[in-house]
């Protein structure tokens, strides 16, 4: 995962003022170039909110009616299960999607040219089909997560994996009647981790803690529009986690103050009556009070991150990915600030290349 930072000016120089949008699609190594093929549209969606990433593109006017077949054996090149890579940008292109062809369809009509529509999904799609049970025994949860992600890498549908530290949680791991992807989502919720894929890297980690901004965008300088929303739905004043230690004695940990989101005000600071609300839950994975406190804090921060939400559109920026922070400038003091990127959508159409994004924030 890219942990660097960029300036809009540097990217503008790299991509020559964002002129001449272009992309390349690789299907099992065969290149489909936007400059040479009539690819009507391309959309890549990446998400850090618990959804698998995907892409969709369609090809038109590549059907030979006299021979009753697709030109360049296109229909034979694009097959389900084929490795799929998408590079996007301008004079220079960066990898923005890595996965495989999940499905495709051929559409024939007497009023329009034949159309080949292709949908791809990242390595998590493969794990959705892995449904064998897991009995971890003495394996740590971290080891189990690593082994699950390795399946997609070994299949060639992911390039690498990153798993954050899951220290201290040593309860035997059991998975039954769940596919691997749903199980990973369950584990990510238990440990307050983010689960997503970027450029072929499958990530199970606490990326919210890394608050360094990926880029700063200003209205009129790359940022085309931005919307912001505040909501008290799901907000609580404190989180209390209960568990049992190794001697089966009850233990607990409490978190009352949001630790992320910068210098703004949290939901309960703006709506003081919400300090009286609480979330209490029992967790079978904790064994010490310290672990209870850590999990309670992570759970409170996760809830708080739903307080502020927003969305925006900017010029096409291949470097924009979910799981990082973006700084918004050029607006009023309340709206300006740092936001966590939860979803990115790269869209190439006849109108050009634009990147849409969704964000969250813990403080306003």
212 assigned to some structural domain: no
Query: Any long-range contacts for 301-304 (C-beta under 8 Å, 24+ apart)?
Result: 301/192, 301/208, 301/258, 301/259, 301/260, 301/362, 302/192, 302/208, 303/234, 303/235, 303/236, 303/239, 303/279, 304/235, 304/258, 304/260, 304/261, 304/266, 304/267, 304/362, 304/363
Q: Is residue 117 located within the same domain as residue 131?
A: no
Residue 169 binned pLDDT confidence (cut-offs 50, 70, 90): low
Q: Is residue 68 located within the same domain as residue 151?
A: no
Are 104 and 36 in contact, with CB atoms under 8 Å apart? no
Domain span holding position 290: 234-304
Which pTM does this prediction carry? 0.91
Of 207, 242, 268, the one marking the end of a domain is 207
Of 283, 304, 325, the one marking the end of a domain is 304
**Per-residue pLDDT tens for 199-229?**
999 999 999 988 899 999 999 899 999 999 9
Higher-confidence position of 322 and 212:
322
Pairwise CA distance, residues 176 & 180, whole Å? 10
Q: Is residue 35 located within the same domain as residue 98?
A: yes
Q: Is residue 75 located within the same domain as residue 159?
A: no
The pLDDT of residue 100 is 98
**Per-residue pLDDT tens for 101-128?**
999 998 887 777 788 899 999 999 999 9
The pLDDT of residue 153 is 98
Closest listed residue to residue 348, CA positions, set 152, 36, 57: 57
Are 34 and 57 in contact, with CB atoms under 8 Å apart? no
Whether the pLDDT of residue 178 is over 80: the answer is yes
213 assigned to some structural domain: no
Residue with tokens 């809009």: 8
The pLDDT of residue 282 is 93
Instruction: Tell me how crowded residue 227 is: count the other CB atoms within 10 A of its CB.
Output: 12
Q: Is residue 191 located within the same domain as residue 131?
A: yes
The pLDDT of residue 109 is 77
DSSP per-residue letters across 62-109: -EETTTTEEGGGHHHHS-TT-EEEEEEESSSEEEEEEEEEEEEEEE--
Q: Is residue 319 located within the same domain as residue 339?
A: yes
Total domains in the fold of the chain: 3
The pLDDT of residue 218 is 96
Task: Spell out the alpha helix ranges (H) of 135-211.
Answer: 141-154, 180-190
Q: Is residue 114 located within the same domain as residue 40?
A: yes
Strands 238-244 and 352-361: unpaired
Residues ≥6 apart with Cβ < 8 Å to 166: 140, 141, 142, 145, 191
Q: Is residue 130 located within the same domain as residue 90?
A: no
According to DSSP, residue 172 is labeled: P
CATH number of the domain encompassing residue 184: 3.55.50
Whether the pLDDT of residue 63 is over 80: the answer is no
Q: Is residue 20 located within the same domain as residue 111?
A: yes
57 assigned to some structural domain: yes
Section 11-15 average pLDDT = 97
Section 326-348 average pLDDT = 95
Q: Is residue 241 located within the same domain as residue 314?
A: no
1 assigned to some structural domain: no
Which of 24-33, 118-127, 310-319 has the least mean pLDDT? 24-33
Q: List the beta bridge partners of residue 25.
A: 32, 86
Pairwise CA distance, residues 316 & 224, whole Å? 11
**Per-residue pLDDT tens for 241-252?**
999 988 999 999
Residue 261 binned pLDDT confidence (cut-offs 50, 70, 90): confident
2 assigned to some structural domain: no
Section 3-14 average pLDDT = 96
Pairwise CA distance, residues 99 & 104, whole Å? 14
Pairwise CA distance, residues 193 & 189, whole Å? 6
Instruction: Tell me how crowded residue 114 is: count the other CB atoms within 10 A of its CB.
Output: 17
Tokens at 263, concatenated: 């210098």
How do the residues of the chain divide into helix, strand and coil, expressed in percent and rounded to 5?
Answer: 20, 40, 40
Higher-confidence position of 60 and 146:
146
Is 285 strand, coil or helix?
A: coil
According to DSSP, residue 351 is labeled: T
Q: Is residue 53 located within the same domain as residue 116?
A: yes
114 assigned to some structural domain: yes
Whether the pLDDT of residue 328 is over 60: the answer is yes
Pairwise CA distance, residues 342 & 200, whole Å? 17
Q: Is residue 52 located within the same domain as residue 27?
A: yes
CATH number of the domain encompassing residue 97: 2.30.300.10
215 assigned to some structural domain: no
Whether the pLDDT of residue 159 is over 90: the answer is yes
Length of the chain: 364
Looking at the chain, the number of H-run helices and the number of E-run strands are: 7, 23
338 assigned to some structural domain: yes
Of 304, 324, 347, the one marking the end of a domain is 304
């Amino acid at each position: 995962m890219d942990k660097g930072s960029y300036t809009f000016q540097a990217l503008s120089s790299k991509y020559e003022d964002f002129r001449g949008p272009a992309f390349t699609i690789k299907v099992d190594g065969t290149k489909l170039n936007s400059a040479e093929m009539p690819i009507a549209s391309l959309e890549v969606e990446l998400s850090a909110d618990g959804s698998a990433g995907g892409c969709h593109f369609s090809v038109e006017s590549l059907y030979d009616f006299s021979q009753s077949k697709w030109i360049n054996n296109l229909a034979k090149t694009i097959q389900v299960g084929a490795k799929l890579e998408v590079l996007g940008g301008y004079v220079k292109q960066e990898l923005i999607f890595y996965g495989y062809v999940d499905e495709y369809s051929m559409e024939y009509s007497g009023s329009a040219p034949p159309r080949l529509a292709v949908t791809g999904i990242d390595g998590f799609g493969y794990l959705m089909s892995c449904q064998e049970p897991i009995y971890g025994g003495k394996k740590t949860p971290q080891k189990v997560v690593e082994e699950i992600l390795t399946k997609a890498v070994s299949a060639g549908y992911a390039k690498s994996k990153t798993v954050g530290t899951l220290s201290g949680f040593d309860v035997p791991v059991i998975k039954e009647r769940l596919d691997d992807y749903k199980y990973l989502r369950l584990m990510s919720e238990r440990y307050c981790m983010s689960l997503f894929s970027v450029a072929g890297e499958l990530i199970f980690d606490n990326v919210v803690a890394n608050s360094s901004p990926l880029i700063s965008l200003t209205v009129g300088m790359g940022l085309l529009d931005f919307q912001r929303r505040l909501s008290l739905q799901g907000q609580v004043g404190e989180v209390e986690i209960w568990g049992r230690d190794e001697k089966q004695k009850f233990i607990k940990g409490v978190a009352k103050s949001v630790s992320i989101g910068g210098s703004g005000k949290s939901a309960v600071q703006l709506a003081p009556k919400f300090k009286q609300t609480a979330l209490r839950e029992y967790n079978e994975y904790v064994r010490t009070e310290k672990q209870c406190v850590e999990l309670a804090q992570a759970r409170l921060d996760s809830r708080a991150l739903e307080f502020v939400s927003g969305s925006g559109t900017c010029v096409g920026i291949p470097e924009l990915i979910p799981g990082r922070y973006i700084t918004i400038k050029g607006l009023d003091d309340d709206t300006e600030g740092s936001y966590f990127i939860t979803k990115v959508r790269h869209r190439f159409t006849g109108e050009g290349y634009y990147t849409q994004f969704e964000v969250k924030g813990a403080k306003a």
